[in-house]
Amino acid sequence: MAAPMELFCWAGGWGLPSVDPDCLAVLTYARFTGAPLKVHRLANPWRSPSGKDLRPGSVPDRAPVPFAPQKYNADYDLSAQQGADTLAFVSLLEEKLLPVLIHTFWVDAKNYVEHTRKWYAETIPFPLNFFLPNCMHKRHLERLQLRRAGDGAVAPWQLYRDARECLTLLSQRLGSQKFFFGDSPASLDALVFSRLAPLLKAKLPNGKLQQHLKSLQNLCNHCAAILSLYFPWDGGDALHGDGDTDGSPRATRGCPVPSVGMGTRMGPPVPPVAAQCPPWGWGCGWDPPAPPAATPLPGGARRLRSASPELPVPARLAVPLAWPSSPGAPGRSGPHRG
Amino acid sequence: MSMLVKACKVPFIHVGNQVVSELGPIVQFVKAKGHSLSDGLDEVQKAEMKAYMELVNNMLLTAELYLQWCDDVTVEEITHPRYGSPYPWPLNRILSYQKQWEIRRKMKAIGWAGKSLEQVLEDVDQCCQALSQRLGTQPYFFNKHPTELDALVFGHLFTILTTQLTSDELCEKVKNYSNLIAFCRRIEQQYFEGRLTLARP
């Protein structure tokens, strides 16, 4: 029996399961494939097994990594050319959209102070919340400047123009399809979702790009469909719920970059949670409720009953995605702790 | 002229009192003058074309930069002598190291600094595979007529194929894809009338 895969990622907020685009991409991809993941949502980036700190981009995340390519691969049905297209659009996103996302969330003064820093400062535990957001801000700023190193100074308006074009191209490529390659989601859908959903959901004071995105109806629908189909119960902040923690090994160091580790490799034996959590509440992360037994429909296809019945779940999913949309799902009340 | 050329990179075109540099802006500029190669494409194809152009910029270009400035053998034997050649000593050394430092910082920012040469070559292979699959048996990427994507891909692949480096690993990666080789040869023959020399096997 293989050890369970565990995913460490940033906590959720803004109506999303995770606020960090890279974490969100892996999380979404995992949901698409039905890979059994144990998810730990952290608000303290010093506690991940990989020991990687919160350096953005320390994982060059071209496409969400297939966990076990034979078993959980959302791209299994794609033709070779569709695989090539995936790679191309991933590049487009990384080159054109990512810099602007960094700029929108971390560099734009109004957005950073009133939205991003506020959220992180409220979410990261004391006393780290006093300096971590600033560190992250600096790193993002540096990352953005270095990306463009050698290209001369690129004015923000040029970045935004490129990003608007990128969004328009994505919208044209998607057209009236449900997902980018037909009726079932693939890794490209996960990546696009992870980049667009934060932009769509965050309540940014300065929402230039947001407005452009909102005018592209099919991209908005794409995000909304994925959110309601694959994250029916944890749209809200999962972190500050009713203290529902799992007794999982959140032993060593923290990491907002998604890191999938096998349980056996994961550091020292686990002390009880209570002994580990400092009084100010590092109780971070909880497990999704176990999915109910599979309810296969005739014909082998499974339908998601709880969310949007008109959207069929692709038949290749190994695990049913129909969790009960229980009202008792913890922490859906709001993104902020008090 | 010097007032016009500010922070200009090659290639640039100079029309009247305007200077336009680099592929993207030049394509835009020429399009505004009424010449476009991609007008015949529908919207989806246009989106795909732009995406593949970014693929080349993102992977092939970065890999070339990596090889040029981060592979120690190439840096010592080729890049530094060549980059410094227009300048007298000690400026040639200083400028070379300055550039090298700049590029390495950029590699760090995009997460390539920790990659080994093998991983970079693997990326090149992946990129070439994608291009090869997209091209298939067509003469150009979007069937009968060349677009700016074809120009970009030709520019990169032809350079890789015809440049002598300390090892031919990069070149070999491209040579694995026969349709890409044929594609380069076709464009060379058709548009450059054999003035360039792509070695025949």
Tell me the per-residue pLDDT of A234-260, one tens digit each, with 9 for 90 and over.
544 443 333 333 333 333 333 334 444
The structural domains of chain B, with segments of one domain joined by +, span 1-35, 36-192
Closest residue of chain A to B58, computed from CA coordinates: A91
Q: What is the DSSP letter of A258?
A: -
Cross-chain residue pair B110–A96, CB shorter than 8 Å: no
Both structure tokens of B117: 């040469």
pLDDT by residue for chain B (201 residues), tens digit each? Answer: 444 445 567 788 888 888 888 888 889 899 998 888 888 888 899 999 999 999 998 899 999 999 999 999 999 999 999 999 999 989 999 999 999 998 998 888 888 888 899 999 999 999 999 999 999 999 999 988 899 999 999 999 999 999 888 888 899 999 999 999 999 999 999 898 756 566 554
* A contacts of B58 (beta carbons < 8 Å): 91, 94-95
Query: Which of A58, A89, A91, A170 is the best substitution to test chain B (most B C-beta atoms within 10 A)?
Result: A91
Cross-chain residue pair A152–B9, CB shorter than 8 Å: yes
Cross-chain residue pair B102–A149, CB shorter than 8 Å: yes
What pLDDT shows up at residue B96?
A: 93
* A contacts of B59 (beta carbons < 8 Å): 91
pTM: 0.73
A164 burial (CB, 10 Å; 0-12 / 13-18 / 19+) is buried
Cross-chain residue pair B134–A81, CB shorter than 8 Å: yes
Both structure tokens of B148: 């700016």
Query: Which member of A58, A87, A95 has the closest CB to residue B111?
Result: A58
Query: Which of A102, A172, A174, A218 is the best substitution to test chain B (most B C-beta atoms within 10 A)?
Result: A172
Cross-chain residue pair A60–B112, CB shorter than 8 Å: yes
Query: Which of B5, B21, B31, B58 is the best substitution to test chain A (most A C-beta atoms within 10 A)?
Result: B58
What pLDDT shows up at residue A316?
A: 40
The ipTM is 0.86
What is the third-level CATH fold of B36-192? Glutathione S-transferase Yfyf (Class Pi); Chain A, domain 2 (1.20.1050)
User: Containing H/E element for A39?
Assistant: strand A37-42
Q: Does A52 touch chain B (CB under 8 A)?
A: no
What pLDDT shows up at residue A32?
A: 85
Task: Give residue ranges of B with CB < 8 Å to any A CB.
Answer: 7, 9, 43-44, 46-48, 50-52, 54-55, 57-59, 102-103, 105-106, 108-112, 126-127, 129-131, 133-134, 136
User: Containing H/E element for B19?
Assistant: strand B18-21
A108 closest CA partner among A148, A159, A170, A164: A159
Query: Which of B54, B69, B70 is the best substitution to test chain A (most A C-beta atoms within 10 A)?
Result: B54
What pLDDT shows up at residue A151?
A: 58
Give CA separation, A280 vs A35, A123, A127, A128, A274, in Å: 33, 12, 10, 12, 12
Give CA separation, A174 vs A177, A218, A288, B42, B141, in Å: 6, 7, 31, 13, 20
How far is residue A180's CA from residue A226's CA, in Å, rounded to a whole number? 12
Cβ neighbours of residue B89 closer than 8 Å, sequence gap 6 or more: none
Total number of residues shown for chain B: 201
DSSP three-state, residue A175: coil
Is A322 in contact with A230 (CB distance < 8 Å)? no
Query: Which member of A87, A153, A172 has the closest CB to residue B47?
Result: A172
Closest residue of chain A to B8, computed from CA coordinates: A152
